[in-house]
Amino acid sequence: MKKALVFGGTRFFGKRLVEALLAEGVDTTIATRGQTADSFGDRVTRLILDREDPKSLAAGLGGGEWDVVYDNICYSPSSAMDACRVLKDRAGKYVFTSSMSVYDLGAGLTEAVFDPYSYPVKAGTRHDFPYGEGKRLAEAIFFQQAPFPVSAVRFPIVLGVDDYTRRLHFHVERVAAGKLIGMPNPQAEMVFTRSDEAAHFLLWQADAALTGPYNACSSGTIALARLIGLIEEATGCKARLAAEAEEEAESPFGVEESWTASNAKAAQAGFAFLQLDDWLPELVGTLASAARRNNSL
């Protein structure tokens, strides 16, 4: 890979992906709306465009060609169609950041549970579909219509100190402050990945031989009750949980039954996943230390 284009490369695991590409010596272009500053300096080429506007997409990309295109900000079938049309004959490989939200709840979900190759396609923007359906339809467009090789990375919830959505932060900070958390089923199991692991998985997906959907989560699962236990230990505070709560107190992890996926396909193809138990307690401890500092101010 000599040249890469990244849609959405200025924060969280997209930013980490760009750093990984640069470390590999890849000529990297980032395409964004230009609303988030980045720290890449003159190491990247910047294209300003609106990923949701087909005219802006075509104009912003100009006549560029890339060995690999990473798309972290496609949420609808229409956006997928635009990419297929605009980047025809200009992308050697397309890596689409999808989501575990293409699956309903369940345990040990494999890629075969959702088949994008046969899923009925329809047009529409991100405003026309719930998040999971938008990702399902985008996958269907890419796998059924794309003129270039495609892989779809089905991430679970991605965690890290740099998570701008602050989903794990939410739990740590509320426990530390003695605030209620709405969690319908603390015994439900979940999987996660860390932001740097997500970035390195995307980097690995540049291999043109890796096509189709791939689950990408750290190895191992954790019950929400155990996660809360880790937070209690790290904060020194007792959690207040309730099956139902006001919207502002509802857990971003509030699934009613287990929601886990198998990473066996990618592992068998050669990717070395982290062990969830090796990094999640440490991350909880880091966030708990920050919460204690904030509470002491």
**pLDDT at site 296:** 59
Per-residue pLDDT, averaged over 13-19, amounts to: 96
Indicate the average pLDDT of the chain.
95
- With cut-offs at 50, 70 and 90, classify the pLDDT of residue 106: very high
The contacts of residue 135 (CB under 8 Å, 6+ apart) are 75, 98, 99, 101, 102
Q: How is domain 162-191+219-258+275-296 classified at the CATH fold level?
A: UDP-galactose 4-epimerase; domain 1 (3.90.25)
Instruction: Identify the CATH homologous superfamily for domain 3-157+193-215.
Output: NAD(P)-binding Rossmann-like Domain (3.40.50.720)
Q: Nearest-CA neighbor of 186 among 224, 157, 229, 242? A: 224
Q: Is the pLDDT of residue 297 over 60?
A: no
Integer Cα distance of 10 and 84 in angstroms: 23
According to DSSP, the β-strands at 180-182 and 240-242 are parallel
Integer Cα distance of 155 and 104 in angstroms: 14
According to DSSP, the β-strands at 3-7 and 27-32 are parallel
Other residues' Cβ atoms within 10 Å of the Cβ of residue 89: 8
> Would you kindly state where each structural domain of the chain is located, as residue ranges?
3-157+193-215, 162-191+219-258+275-296
**pLDDT at site 68:** 98
**Structure confidence by residue, pLDDT tens digits, 164-213:** 999 999 999 999 999 999 999 999 999 999 999 999 999 999 998 999 99
**Structure confidence by residue, pLDDT tens digits, 248-262:** 999 999 999 999 999
For residues 221-257, one letter each, b for 16 or more C-beta atoms within 10 angstroms of the residue's C-beta and e for the rest, the string is: bbebeebbebbbebbebebebeeebeeebbbebbbee
User: Does residue 55 contact residue 86 with C-beta atoms inside 8 Å?
Assistant: no
Per-residue pLDDT, averaged over 36-62, amounts to: 92
**pLDDT > 90 in the chain, percent:** 92
